Amino acid sequence: MRAQQVAVQKKEIGPGAITREPINAAKFHKPVSRVYIIPERCKECDYCWTFCPNEVLELSDEINAAGYHHPKVKAGKENDCVNCGMCQAVCPEFAIYAKEEPRQ
């Protein structure tokens, strides 16, 4: 429920935004990363999924031993984590981090 509200708010920022592509964009790659979680440490503060810039995360229906819902990757967003580090940095519990998948 709350997740939906936040998503709606974020979309509201959208209209009017101008996006431009850097001319040297080809020199960069967009990292594809994996999200790692330690569910038992989570206290459901909502920070990681609220502040994830790519809206990769949402709350899971599952609960840990303390009764908290931990985050999970949204269906359809599996390849959208770019390892910006926000979830790790904003998590007060050392319960989540992302790591770039090795390039083959």
Q: Which parts of this chain interact with other proteins (CB under 8 A)?
A: 29, 32-41, 43-47, 50-51, 66, 68, 71-73, 78-81, 86, 88-95, 97, 99, 101-104
Residue 81: Cβ-neighbour burial (10 angstroms; 0-12, 13-18, 19+): buried
Minimum separation from the CB atom of position 60 to other proteins (A): 9
Q: How far is the CB of 14 from other proteins (least distance, A)?
A: 17
CB of 65 to other proteins, least distance (A): 10
Q: Kindly report the backbone phi and psi dihedral angles of residue 53, in degrees, each rounded to the nearest multiple of 5, phi listed first.
A: -65, -25
